[in-house]
DNA sequence: GCGTCATTAGGTGCCACATTCAGGT
DNA sequence: GCACCTGAATGTGGCACCTAATGAC
């Protein structure tokens, strides 16, 4: 398939002028936000097309997972690449990205922010557009222009042997989502475990939750046991909760629970197509460079701390501390008095009158 | 529906400590 | 190449108090 020349991102199959943001499985087409909204709002049938967000790293393949720590949607290849880089990255919790259906971007918002839930579909669309514009601008800053990278439908990473894993990964991924769905149906809890800040699958039976996470990790090619780094799912999850909530600057709000992913189905088949041969031309150095740029960008964007209440900040700054911890004013006063009396005694010993 | 009061959850900065990483031997 | 040590870098917990949100009336 010939694509319009673009230096860095998969072009929209419809307008061929904007970078694609979603992949429509029914149409087998990569679409930009506006075309997606236009096409899938045309009629009821079209509105039921399932779309998945395009990988934010390579921008060339449908995203399969959302990394909560990095706040990024990643295709299987990028996910595997990035999260096998180091032990810390391995701990990032990723959840399967559910397809978007209907003419809204609610799932995107769910995946990419924990901000106030917008119920109005039109407003959602606008917000989605703004977000996409930001994403596009962001992507331009870290994606490398490389020859022949806009000619395929898949991710731009050389996968080679990895692809073999990904095929299995992809097929088993469906198992994963099917099991997840089955459980949700059994418990009548719609997508509870994918809730905004609720990184920990709160209501999942321990054995099932463990099984699901183990399977997920297995699919991602992550092995904990052999290196003695094995952690229980609870342990790792608890760890990730803190990382994600602090490092991402995600501020839980009262409306967070409303951000539940609402897709009735969660079938994911994002690696159906074989990898684009040209996309495999990227050297390991280029891949690493991309990953590094991606991480840098995410770090800059997400690690900024958000101050919601300046008044609280002001109080916190004024608040007395003992070894960095907030201290009770009484204790501080008592300590100050003790110091004061000690000082007086000490000073008096030398016959010096303290001047306060 | 509106106002008042009580209760509660969560946000805030800084430091000590823990953990991880890199480099040297 | 491996193990061990050391210092640097990074991540995390915990504290008290105040405010916003929430519920009851």
Question: Residue A319 pLDDT more than 80?
Answer: yes
| Nucleotide nearest to A326 in CA–C1' terms | C15
The reply to whether A323 Cβ lies less than 7 angstroms from strand B is yes
Residues 6+ apart with CB under 8 A from A144: A8, A286, A289, A290, A293
pLDDT at position A343 is: 55
Give, in degrees to the nearest 5, the angle at Cα A176 between A170 and A179: 145
Comparing every residue's Cα with the C1' atom of nucleotide C10, the nearest one is A88
- Give mean pLDDT, residues A102-124: 36
The reply to whether A322 Cβ lies less than 7 angstroms from strand B is no
Mean confidence (pLDDT) of chain A: 49
Comparing every residue's Cα with the C1' atom of nucleotide C20, the nearest one is A309
How long is chain A?
A: 356
pLDDT at position A98 is: 64
Q: Among the listed ranges A127-136, A167-176, A314-323, which one has the minimum average pLDDT value?
A: A167-176
Q: Where are the alpha helices (DSSP H) in chain A?
A: 33-40, 44-47, 76-82, 87-91, 106-112, 121-142, 161-187, 206-219, 233-247, 284-302, 310-318, 329-349
Nearest Cα to A268, choosing from A172, A336, A187, A133? A172
**Distance measured from the CA of protein residue A328 to the C1' of nucleotide C12, in angstroms:** 22
In terms of pLDDT, which residue wins out, A279 or A269?
Answer: A279
The reply to whether A316 Cβ lies less than 7 angstroms from strand B is yes
Question: Residue A317 pLDDT more than 80?
Answer: yes
In terms of pLDDT, which residue wins out, A351 or A75?
Answer: A75
Give the SS3 label for residue A180: helix
Can you tell me the distance from the alpha carbon of A75 to that of A327, in angstroms, rounded to the nearest whole number?
47
| DSSP label at residue A88 | H
Question: Residue A335 pLDDT more than 60?
Answer: yes
pLDDT for A52-71, tens place per residue?
777 776 666 777 777 666 66
pLDDT for A240-273, tens place per residue?
333 333 333 333 333 333 333 333 223 233 333 3
Residues 6+ apart with CB under 8 A from A241: A199, A200
Residues 6+ apart with CB under 8 A from A246: none
| DSSP label at residue A326 | E
Give the SS3 label for residue A69: coil
| Nucleotide nearest to A316 in CA–C1' terms | B12
Q: Per-residue DSSP letters for A185-214?
A: HHHT-TTGGG-SS--S-TTS-HHHHHHHHH
pTM above threshold 0.85 = no
């Amino acid at each position: 398939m010939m694509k319009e020349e673009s230096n860095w991102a998969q072009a929209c199959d419809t307008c061929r002028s904007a970078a694609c943001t979603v992949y429509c499985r029914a149409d087998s087409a990569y679409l930009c936000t506006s075309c997606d909204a236009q096409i899938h709002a045309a009629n009821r049938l079209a509105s039921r097309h399932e779309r998945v967000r395009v990988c934010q790293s390579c921008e060339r393949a449908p995203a399969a997972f959302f990394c909560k720590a990095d706040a990024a949607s990643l295709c299987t290849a990028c996910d595997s690449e990035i999260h096998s880089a180091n032990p810390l990255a391995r701990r990032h919790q990723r959840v399967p990205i559910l397809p978007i259906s209907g003419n809204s971007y609610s799932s995107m918002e769910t995946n990419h922010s924990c901000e106030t839930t917008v119920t109005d579909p039109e407003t959602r669309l606008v917000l989605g557009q703004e977000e996409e514009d930001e994403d596009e601008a962001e992507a331009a800053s870290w994606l490398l222009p490389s020859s022949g990278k806009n000619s395929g439908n898949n991710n731009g990473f050389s996968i080679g042997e990895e692809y073999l894993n990904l095929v299995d990964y992809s097929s088993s991924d469906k198992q994963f989502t099917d099991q997840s769905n089955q459980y949700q149906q059994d418990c009548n809890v719609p997508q509870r475990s994918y809730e905004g800040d609720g990184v920990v699958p709160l209501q999942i039976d321990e054995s099932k939750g463990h099984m699901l996470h183990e399977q997920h990790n297995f699919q991602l090619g992550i092995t904990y046991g052999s290196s003695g780094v094995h952690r229980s799912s609870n342990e790792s999850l608890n760890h990730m909760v803190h990382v994600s909530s602090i490092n991402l600057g995600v501020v839980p709000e009262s409306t967070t629970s409303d951000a539940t992913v609402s897709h009735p189905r969660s079938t994911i088949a994002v690696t159906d197509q074989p990898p684009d041969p040209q996309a495999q031309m990227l050297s390991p150095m280029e891949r690493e460079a991309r990953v590094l740029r991606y991480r840098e960008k995410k770090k800059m964007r997400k690690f900024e701390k958000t101050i919601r209440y300046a008044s609280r900040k002001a109080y916190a700054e004024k608040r007395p501390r003992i070894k960095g911890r907030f201290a009770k004013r009484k204790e501080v006063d008592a300590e100050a008095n003790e110091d004061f009396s000690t000082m007086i005694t000490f000073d008096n010993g030398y016959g010096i009158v303290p001047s306060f």
